[in-house]
Amino acid sequence: MGRTLGIPAMALAAVLASAGLSGCASVPNRAVSVAATANVPYNLTDVLFSREMIMHYRQSITMARLVPGRGQDQYVKSLADKIIKEEAAQIDVMVGSLKAWEFAVPDANNPPKHQMPGMLSPAQLLLLKGRSGPAFDRLWLTTLARHTGYGVELAEKARDEGKDRGTVELARKIAATQKARVAEIVQHLS
């Protein structure tokens, strides 16, 4: 990131680095008081939510892009289209927040090695790719419901513990939308 972080942002970056999230921001080699983060209009929850939800949504979009040519259920096709449109737009909002706060945006081409809860493993994605028709539709919906359920957890935490008003409002909207989506999927599966 070519810019120098301000003192409050450096304090938050130091907290991120100490939490094992190095690479999230550039942290100068000097100690910064965590108390300085009180002057920042966002907090660690806001930053982590934006970073993790970007990765979460990217995988949802990857899953949605598997539907054409595999899915037969019109509900599955419609939901995949909705995910691509809605979640791509929300990724743009979160990318904007991270850039405004001077934090690195997760690299789409080089995702982190650790597995976040609710994320599909490469083997699970491969299993989805190998199915088609009703077997694909059922597995896709079941997998998406579990994946989306974790999105609800991420959003509820940010809604309840975030500091940035825009992020808290986005998290509130995501939590409600994703919770309704899981209920809709469960109803469709039954």
In this predicted model, what pLDDT tens digit does every residue of 76-89 receive, in sequence order?
Answer: 999 999 999 999 99
Contacts of 78 (CB under 8 A, 6+ apart): none
Q: Are residues 7 and 45 in the same domain?
A: no
pTM, full prediction: 0.78
Contacts of 141 (CB under 8 A, 6+ apart): 76, 185, 188, 189
Q: Are residues 82 and 106 in the same domain?
A: yes
Q: Are residues 120 and 152 in the same domain?
A: yes
Q: Which two tokens stand for residue 59?
A: 């995988």
Average pLDDT over residues 66-73: 96
Q: Which CATH number fits the domain that encloses residue 147? A: 1.20.1260.10
DSSP H or E stretch at residue 60: helix 44-64
Separation between Cα atoms, residue 94 and residue 56, nearest integer Å: 12
Report angle CA 51, 170, 177 to the nearest 5 degrees.
105
Answer for the pair 46, 8: CB distance below 8 angstroms, yes or no.
no
Q: What is the DSSP letter of 31?
A: -
Q: Are residues 29 and 80 in the same domain?
A: no
Q: Domain of residue 74: give its range.
A: 41-189
Higher pLDDT, 99 or 122: 99
pLDDT confidence of 114, banded at 50, 70, 90?
low
Q: Are residues 33 and 112 in the same domain?
A: no
Q: Are residues 177 and 152 in the same domain?
A: yes
Query: What are the pLDDT digits (tens) for 135-185?
Result: 999 999 999 999 999 999 999 999 999 999 999 999 999 999 999 999 999
Q: Which two tokens stand for residue 180?
A: 């309704």
Q: Are residues 69 and 7 in the same domain?
A: no
Q: Are residues 21 and 97 in the same domain?
A: no
